[in-house]
Amino acid sequence: MVLPMALFFDGISALDCYRAMNLAGASVGAPKRYAREFAASSPNLASLKSAWESFPSLVSPRLLVSEQSKRCRIQGVKCRVLGSPLPSEAFIFLGDDMYACSPAFAFARSAVELDFAELVLLGYEITGSYRLDSNSEQGFFSAPPLVSHSALVSISSQGNLPGANKAENALRFVSSGSASPMETALAMLLSMPKAKGGYGLPSPQLNAAVEVPKGDWRVAYGRQFRCDLLWPTASLCVEYDSDMFHTGSQKIARDARRRNALSSLGFTVITATKSQVTSIPGLDQLASQVARGIGVRLRMERVNRKAQRALLDCAVGGSRSSRRASRISQ
């Protein structure tokens, strides 16, 4: 009888495990090095059958081993050798002899197979308060951030890791705090460099708190607001309205009060709709409004339109990582 051996999930597969755990309401443990366990790992079919019982959504699992002789050759399984020293917080124990690259390590490892825009998109998700799940009606569910932006920067600055330089460069364009894929798409499209298909505007703060002066609490119906995208020095916020034409009267009234209250506090509020975010003419109009609001000259002719179409498809249509997430709730 062949006994299961410890498994170490690599990159995208590790993040698939965390999405499944978040969806099930399970907490993610603290990362450790687990160097001895990793050195002893030699995956086999029995290990994978056990893993699929715990994570039936795993598709084409990515596994990590310490040396060439321990690679498994099983159809549909990608087994990679780690050719660099382990980071101090490399893995998280999932239970039942299963481990996964920590969220920060998994991000750096994902840079090996994701393209640049996909990597930026992934950075927004794991530092934000949502996880992708295209089997749900809205395409995602709320969950705490998996990792901080600073932790991603710390591990990606270790140039000896494969993909680390690419990951470090991608993080220049990642803002933490996104609460939905469309907030991520908006932030990416507005702030990515023109050469990469964005409009090159300053990066906004995502879901940042706007404190309401005590004397205005009654007018503002609360002590603070959280704006989807905020440029605080320009007192400008962009609010994403997922479907303005199919919204209950209570939400319409609440949103109107919110916009009026923000206006009374000196903020300019721009509402972005799905039709704007998913079309280049709509994005041009929105970007022009934002540029005027923050006092930046926007030279539209310098936007790389070919790259923009690819970026729009990635940000709104989803990366390979998000398409894998479609299996999470199956």
Q: Residue 244 pLDDT > 50, yes or no? A: no
Label residue 4 by pLDDT band (50, 70, 90): low
Residue type, 177: G
Label residue 2 by pLDDT band (50, 70, 90): very low
Query: Could you give the percent of the chain with pLDDT greater than 90?
Result: 64
Give the mean model confidence (pLDDT) for residues 89-113. 95
Give the mean model confidence (pLDDT) for residues 124-152. 93
Sorted by sequence, the CB contacts under 8 Å of residue 123 that are 6+ apart come out as: 107, 149, 152, 170, 171, 174
Q: Residue 208, Cβ neighbours under 10 Å: how many?
A: 17
Identify whether the C-beta of residue 326 lies closer than 8 Å to the C-beta of residue 135.
Answer: yes
Identify whether the C-beta of residue 23 lies closer than 8 Å to the C-beta of residue 105.
Answer: no
Give the mean model confidence (pLDDT) for residues 26-47. 91
Q: What is the pLDDT of residue 251?
A: 67
Residue type, 1: M
Q: What is the pLDDT of residue 266?
A: 87
First to last CA, the chain: 31
38-73 pLDDT, tens digit each:
999 999 898 888 898 899 888 899 999 999 999 988
Q: Residue 265 pLDDT > 50, yes or no? A: yes
**Max CA pair span of the chain:** 74
Give the mean model confidence (pLDDT) for residues 148-155. 95
Q: What is the mean pLDDT of the chain?
A: 88
Q: What is the pLDDT of residue 320?
A: 58
Sorted by sequence, the CB contacts under 8 Å of residue 277 that are 6+ apart come out as: 182, 185, 186, 189, 240, 283, 286, 316
Query: Could you give the percent of the chain with pLDDT greater than 70?
Result: 89
Domains of the chain by range and CATH? Answer: 7-178+320-327 (no CATH), 199-302 (3.40.960)
Identify whether the C-beta of residue 153 lies closer than 8 Å to the C-beta of residue 93.
Answer: no
268-313 pLDDT, tens digit each:
999 999 999 999 999 999 999 999 999 999 999 999 999 999 999 9
Identify whether the C-beta of residue 63 lies closer than 8 Å to the C-beta of residue 77.
Answer: yes
Per the model's pLDDT, the better-predicted residue between 95 and 135 turns out to be 95
187-236 pLDDT, tens digit each:
999 999 999 999 999 999 999 988 877 766 666 566 778 899 999 999 99
Q: What is the pLDDT of residue 161?
A: 84
